Amino acid sequence: MSAKRTRSYPYARVYNTLSYTGKKVTVIPIYKDEGKDGDRDFLQWDTVSLMSLLGVYVIIGYYKNAEVNKEYENKITNQRFDYDIIKAEINNIVNYQSDALHWNLKQVDKVGEIGQSAIYAYDKISKQLKIKMHSIDSAKKRMAKLIEGKDAFMSLSRKLAQQAQQRESVTIQPKEDLDGTKGIITIKNYLGGYYYFTVDEIKIKGNDIYLVEGKYSSSGALPSEDDIKDGLIKMILFTNLKDIKSNDKSFNSIPVLKLSTGNGYDYNKLTSRQKELVEYLKKESSETHFLLELL
């Protein structure tokens, strides 16, 4: 739906597939341009890296068709992929013998070609719908970086991910019931890949460091299911950390999923579905060793 993970809960949709024992696939656009009056987001390597870490096969696609958004002068909506290419890639994955990591590296090798197709497609959409898009020249410059190869793509995306991480780490969200210090965490996996995340709270008590992912609802009895699933993806990462250091000092990490509401948590006000969800979360936290806080 978007090249940017914070726009449309892609982590929640990925989470829904993780219990499936077969091959799991996600389709991500190389970039999405909503028109001059909308947003434009580009794929980042770190998203592909995270999918590799979770064993999810990535198909990098591009939007071929769209419709005019009647509420804005220069904005499009209902963007649709080039489905012939997507279907062909799904068939290739069905017959692919190696793991998601190797497939995803092959996808990254094709980002230049896919990017050129995306630029051409948006130029065509712009002319057909008579809608002004964001600068094609700036898109071409971005794509030129990707065409230089996977290493350049990784370098550019990591730089942007770090910048986004720094911006998010200084964002103040007083509506959330958080009492620790917002911080940043860089995860390195055994392949040498780096993953940049923000942590809603970091609290240190003795040799324990608490990594808190907070989800909030101002009016609901619980945060939304998609919000909670997004938080559970973080718990998957944080519960698998092996060597945790802060300022060169080692700590025991304790992941925490904190769910808070504007009116305070009250089990008796939950729907039957929400009660089932809470019981599931309690069981999940016990079995996979993270703390669940309901406030």
Q: Can you give the CATH number for the domain in which 190 is found?
A: 3.40.1350
Please report whether residue 5 resides in a domain: no
156 and 179 share a domain? no
Query: What is the Cα–Cα distance from 51 to 202, expressed in whole angstroms?
Result: 25
Q: What is the dihedral of CA 66, 72, 75, 76, to 10 degrees?
A: -10
24 and 138 share a domain? yes
Predicted local confidence at residue 176, as pLDDT: 45
User: Any idea what DSSP says for residue 283?
Assistant: H
161 and 201 share a domain? no
pLDDT tens-digit profile, the chain (295 residues): 554 455 567 778 888 888 888 999 999 999 999 999 999 988 877 778 778 878 899 999 999 999 999 999 999 999 999 999 999 999 999 999 988 888 988 888 888 889 999 999 999 999 999 999 999 898 888 888 777 766 766 666 566 666 666 665 554 443 444 455 778 788 877 656 667 777 888 888 999 999 999 998 888 899 999 999 989 988 988 898 888 888 888 999 999 999 999 889 999 999 999 999 999 999 999 999 999 999 9
Helices 150-169/100-109 angle, 10° precision:
100
Predicted local confidence at residue 159, as pLDDT: 67
The three-state (H, E, C) secondary structure of 168-206, written as one string: HHCCCCCCCCCCCEEEEEEEECCCCCEEEEEEEEEEEEC
Last residue of a domain, one of 166, 195, 213: 166
- What are the residues whose beta carbons fall under 8 Å from the beta carbon of 124, sequence distance 6 or more? none
15 and 126 share a domain? yes
Instruction: Determine the 3-state secondary structure of 260 from DSSP.
Output: strand
Predicted local confidence at residue 59, as pLDDT: 95
Query: What is the Cα–Cα distance from 76 to 33, expressed in whole angstroms?
Result: 8
187 and 262 share a domain? yes
100 and 235 share a domain? no
Query: What is the Cα–Cα distance from 292 to 288, expressed in whole angstroms?
Result: 11
Q: Are 115 and 121 in contact (CB under 8 A)?
A: no
Predicted local confidence at residue 123, as pLDDT: 94
191 and 289 share a domain? yes
Q: What is the dihedral of CA 282, 285, 291, 294, to 10 degrees?
A: -30
Please report whether residue 97 resides in a domain: yes
- What are the residues whose beta carbons fall under 8 Å from the beta carbon of 162, sequence distance 6 or more? 196
Please report whether residue 1 resides in a domain: no
Query: What is the Cα–Cα distance from 262 to 270, expressed in whole angstroms?
Result: 14
Query: What is the Cα–Cα distance from 70 to 72, expressed in whole angstroms?
Result: 6
Whole-structure pTM value: 0.75
253 and 107 share a domain? no
Please report whether residue 139 resides in a domain: yes
267 and 190 share a domain? yes
Please report whether residue 226 resides in a domain: yes
Query: What is the Cα–Cα distance from 171 to 166, expressed in whole angstroms?
Result: 9
Tell me which residue of 14, 270, 5, 1 sits closest to 164, measured CA to CA.
Answer: 5
Last residue of a domain, one of 149, 166, 183: 166
Please report whether residue 287 resides in a domain: yes
- Backbone torsions φ then ψ of 134, nearest 5 degrees: -65, 165
Helix residue ranges per DSSP H, 39-82: 45-53
Q: Are 199 and 254 in contact (CB under 8 A)?
A: no
For residue 252, the enclosing domain spans 171-294
- What Cα–Cα distance (Å) separates residue 281 from each residue in 54, 140, 148, 180, 231? 20, 45, 45, 23, 11
| Domains identified in the chain, total number | 2
Last residue of a domain, one of 103, 135, 166: 166
46 and 158 share a domain? yes
18 and 150 share a domain? yes
158 and 284 share a domain? no
